Structures are given as C-alpha cells and as structure tokens.
Amino acid sequence: MRKTFGDPVAEDLRFVVKAVVGEENFIDMHPNRSNNFCCGGGGGFLQSGLPDERRTYGKLKADQILATKADYAITPCHNCHAQIHDLSDQLDHPWQTVHLWTLLCLSLGILGPNEREYLGDDLKDVDVFHPESSNM
Amino acid sequence: MADEAIKLGGKKRSVFIDKVKEILPEGGNLNLCLTCGACSSGCPATGLEGMDPRKFLRMAALGMDEEVLSTKWVWMCTMCTRCMYVCPMKINIPQLVFNARSTWPRDQRPKGILGSCDMALRNDTCSAMGATEEDFQFVVEDVLEEYQEAQPEFAEMLAPVNKKGTEFFLNQNSREPVTEPDEMVPLWKILHLVGADWTYGTKGWAAENYCMFLGDNDAWKHIVEVKKKSVEDLGCKVWLNTE
C-alpha cells in the first residue's frame, strides 16, 4: 500500500486499523512508514526455493514484530501474510498473522466460525457470527 | 585476510549497467553513487551471498558484469525500494536487480517462480495455480450460496462474476479459491455492507503475477494485457488489485 500509493494512503489504513482494534491496542513497529523493512515475502522470494535465505532476510522483520510485543500482526497482501506467518511459525508462534478483512469483520460482529483460520485461541471463540454454521 | 584487490584498467568492458541506464528515466541515476552505504545499512538482504546493494551497484559500475549477472543475490533482493528511498541520489538499484534477473537464461531462473509464471500463461485466468475459468466461477458461486443460506443476514450478498459496467473489477489471489475458499467471504461481506458495485471476471481474475518476479518482460506484459482486456471488455471503471 505504502509502496504503491505512498505514505498518506498508508496513513488512511492506520485510521482503519485503529478504528477496528481500538487506538490503545494499535502498536506501530519501528522503524515504520517508508523507513520500514520489507518482510522478505515479495519479489518472488517465497517461490524461489531459497527458504534459508528468505528466513535470514526476514529476521529483521521478525525482530521488529517481537519488539512490539503485539499478539497480532496485520498483513496487507498474500506475500506478506505467507512470509510473516512462516516467520512466526519458525519461532513457535509468538504472534498471529491476519488479513485486515478478518479483523474488520470481527469488529463488525459478522465473522463466522469458518472464517477464523488465522485467529489465535484468544479470539477464536469471540463473538462468533452464526456459530451453528461451523463445518468443523 | 582480505580478498585480493580488484585490478581495473584496460578498455571499458561493461555493457550491462549502460544498457540499464538507457531504459531508465534519468538513467536511474546509476552513475551518481556517493558510496555512502545508506542503502546497504538498511537492507535486509545485506550479507546474503556475500552481497549488498552498494556492492552490487559498485561492481556493476566497475564493469564486473560476469559477477553481477551470475550472483544468486538478485533472487534474494525483493526489490522493495527502501535502498532508493534512503539514497541521497535516489539511485534505482532495484531496477538494476530486476534487469539482472532478466538476463538469466530463462530455464536457469528459480524453478518455483518459473513454474508459477508458466502456469499463469496457460490460460486467460492468469492463475499461477492453474485454476480455470470454470473452476473459479464454480467455487465462487458454490461458496456464496452456502453463506447466503448459513448466514441469513447475508442472503442478499452477491459475488458477481462477469457483471458488466460495474464500478470495481476485483482481482483475487489464487490461494483463496484453490486452497481456502472461506477466506474470500469476509471481503465479500465488507463490499456488501458498503454497497460496493463490483465484479470478478472469469478472465484475468488472478491477482498474482509471477512473470514480473521472473524478470520475463514479455510474459509479464502478456499477463497484464490479458487482465486489462478483461476489465475493459466488462466496461468496469476501476481495476482493484489486492496484491
């Protein structure tokens, strides 16, 4: 988002995230905005068959996320989601990695039981929309 | 012990960096490096394959084409452009990396990226996972119907396919329809609640474009053109790509 449309548009997205999770629950990582680091999922890295190098690259991002002590990292696209999810996986899941649409629908009370693949145990059963429709 | 010093001299032998300069606006500023190292100090790929952005640029500037065009590092730089952002001279190192990728013999580029590009070229969906037009339409309609019934508040929700003249043409990453279709639904709900006028297209619906990452310019162009044509044929006003 930031890379394609610039910092001002990314700022609009910060407004959305804060509205969804609550201002007090939003933690920006450091450095941020255009000084932030790429997670290492993009540019084809995930498909390049170089997992060790990709994870070494991603250590900077993992350390950034760990420093926030946040329980959830919100990712804007599939490349980022897959990479940041994998970085968390390598560390035995210190954080959950979610798409923004998941949190938007959760905050609106319309997130069903089968749309919670990436929520952690803390939110898995919170405010489930039509729990009877679970296919588990 | 340090590596042996690089000896320069003789006739200028570089062609690669000059070629890249020719195709970039302002030559990508590729000859303006102050060697400050701001690029490398903030690059997550620094150190991989014994390479970093400054070293890569300096080697190209010194005409060390053989090394520059053979290092696997070009597949470890994600071309995120942070180096260019912090560079006092705004040097386009990412484009130098991209063009280095595109000089590799096609069959020697990373198999995963190559396979994903080739799969996307197989049909007009542009899906890197090979999902066909019929597959995609079936999954979307099947999942929609299931949710319209299971969650009655969304009985009127739509996920149109090939609807003409909508405001938005929405792309979809192949991963959802192919491996986790339930993940498509939250976005549909949001679009429904805000009253967005949108559609998918059976042609060009896949959001990903691995041909770009592969450094295959012709294939990249082809994929973008197929998608563009699909948006235009449906007469949609805005093409939304979620990748």
Q: What chain B residue is nearest to A128 in terms of C-alpha separation? A: B151
The DSSP H or E segment spanning A73 is strand A72-75
SS3 content of chain A, % helix, strand, coil (to 5): 55, 5, 40
HSE value, Cβ hemisphere, 13 Å, CA-based, for A37: 24
ipTM of the complex: 0.94
Assess whether B94 and B144 both reside in one domain: no
Asked if the Cβ–Cβ distance from B82 to A60 is below 8 Å, we say no
Last residue of one domain, picked from the residues B82, B104, B126: B104
Cross-strand pairs, B130: none
Together in a domain, B72 and B32 = yes
Q: Are both B63 and B180 inside the same structural domain?
A: no
Mean pLDDT of A106-122: 97
Number of separate domains in chain B: 2
Beta bridge partners of A73: A97
Do B132 and B231 share a structural domain? yes
The pLDDT of residue A44 is 97
In A, minimum Cα distance to B176 occurs at: A78
B231 and B165 both lie in a single domain: yes
Determine, yes or no, domain membership for B181. yes
Work out the average pLDDT over A52-57. 98
Long-range contacts, A9-17 (Cβ 8 Å, 24+): A13/A76, A13/A100, A16/A100, A16/A104, A17/A74, A17/A100, A17/A103
Are B172 and B124 contained in the same domain? yes
Q: Please check whether residue B3 lies inside any domain of the structure.
A: no
Residue B22 structural domain: 16-104
Mean pLDDT by 10 residues, chain B (243 residues): 70 83 94 97 97 97 95 98 96 98 98 98 97 98 98 98 98 96 97 98 97 98 98 97 82
Residue B45 sits in the same domain as residue B155: no
In a domain, B2, yes or no: no
**Using CA atoms, how far apart are residues B92 and B84, in angstroms rounded to an integer?**
6
Chain B residues within an 8 Å CB radius of A3: 80-81
Same domain for B88 and B60? yes
| B137 and B65 fall within a common domain | no
Q: Do B76 and A35 touch (CB under 8 A)?
A: no
Final residue belonging to a domain, choices B104, B128, B148: B104
Q: Specify whether B132 is located in the same domain as B215.
A: yes
Which helix (H) or strand (E) is A74 found in, with range? strand A72-75
Whether B5 is covered by a domain: the verdict is: no
What one-character DSSP code corresponds to residue A121? H
Phi-psi group of B25: left, alpha or beta (phi > 0 → left; psi -120 to 50 → alpha; rest → beta): beta
Residues spanned by the domain of A97 = 2-133
Report yes or no on B11 lying in a domain.
no
- The pLDDT score that the predictor gives to residue B2 is 64
Q: Are residues B100 and B126 in the same domain?
A: no
What number is the average pLDDT over the span A64-87?
Answer: 96
- 3-class SS at B87? coil
First to last CA, chain B: 46
Domain count, chain A: 1
Q: Which of B77, B104, B131 is the last residue of a domain?
A: B104
Residue pLDDT, tens place only, A59-75: 999 999 999 999 999 99
A99 CB neighbours in chain B (<8 A) are 183, 186
State whether B29 and B78 are in the same domain.
yes
B198 occurs within a structural domain: yes
Name the closest residue on chain A to residue B85, using Cα atoms.
A34
In the structure, what pLDDT confidence band is assigned to residue A6 with cuts at 50, 70 and 90?
confident
Using pLDDT thresholds of 50, 70 and 90, give the confidence band for residue A135. confident
